[in-house]
Amino acid sequence: MISTQTNLEKIMQERKSVRKYKENVEIPKEKLRYLIEQATSAPSSSNMQPWRFLIITDQKEKEALLPIAFNQEQIATSSAVIAVLGDLNMFEKAEEIYNANAALGFMPQQVADNMAANSRKLYGNMPKEKLKEVIQFDAGLITMQIMLLARDMGYDTVPMGGFDRQKFAEHMGLSDNEYAVLLLPIGEAAQEAYGTSRLAVDDILRFK
Ligand SMILES: Cc1cc2nc3c(=O)[nH]c(=O)nc-3n(C[C@H](O)[C@H](O)[C@H](O)COP(=O)(O)O)c2cc1C
- Give 19-56 pLDDT, tens digit per residue: 999 999 999 999 999 999 999 999 999 999 999 999 99
* Percentage with pLDDT > 90 across the chain: 97
16 lines ligand 1 (CB under 6 A): yes
Model confidence, pTM: 0.96
| 136 Cβ inside 6 Å of ligand 1 | no
Does the CB atom of residue 159 touch ligand 1 within 6 A?
Answer: yes
Find out whether the beta carbon of 17 lies less than 6 Å from any atom of ligand 1: yes
Do 135 and 143 touch, CB atoms closer than 8 A? no
Could you give the CA distance from residue 82 to residue 84 in angstroms, rounded to a whole number? 6
Ligand 1 within 6 A of 19 CB?
yes
With 90 as the cut, is the pLDDT of residue 1 above it? no
pLDDT tens-digit series, residues 85-113: 999 999 999 999 999 999 999 999 999 99
State whether residue 113 is helix, strand or coil: helix
**Residue 160 Cβ < 6 Å to ligand 1:** yes
Q: How far is the CA of 13 from the centre of ligand 1 (A)?
A: 15
Q: Each residue of 122-181: pLDDT tens digit?
A: 999 999 999 999 999 999 999 999 999 999 999 999 999 999 999 999 999 999 999 999
Residues whose CB is less than 8 angstroms from the CB of residue 135 and which lie 6 or more positions away in sequence, other chains included: 50, 51, 86, 87, 88, 90, 179, 181
Is the CA virtual torsion 28, 154, 34, 40 positive or negative? negative
Q: How far is the CA of 160 from the centre of ligand 1 (A)?
A: 6
Q: Alpha-carbon torsion 157, 161, 163, 166, what sign?
A: positive
- Nearest residue (by CA) to ligand 1, atom 17, is 17
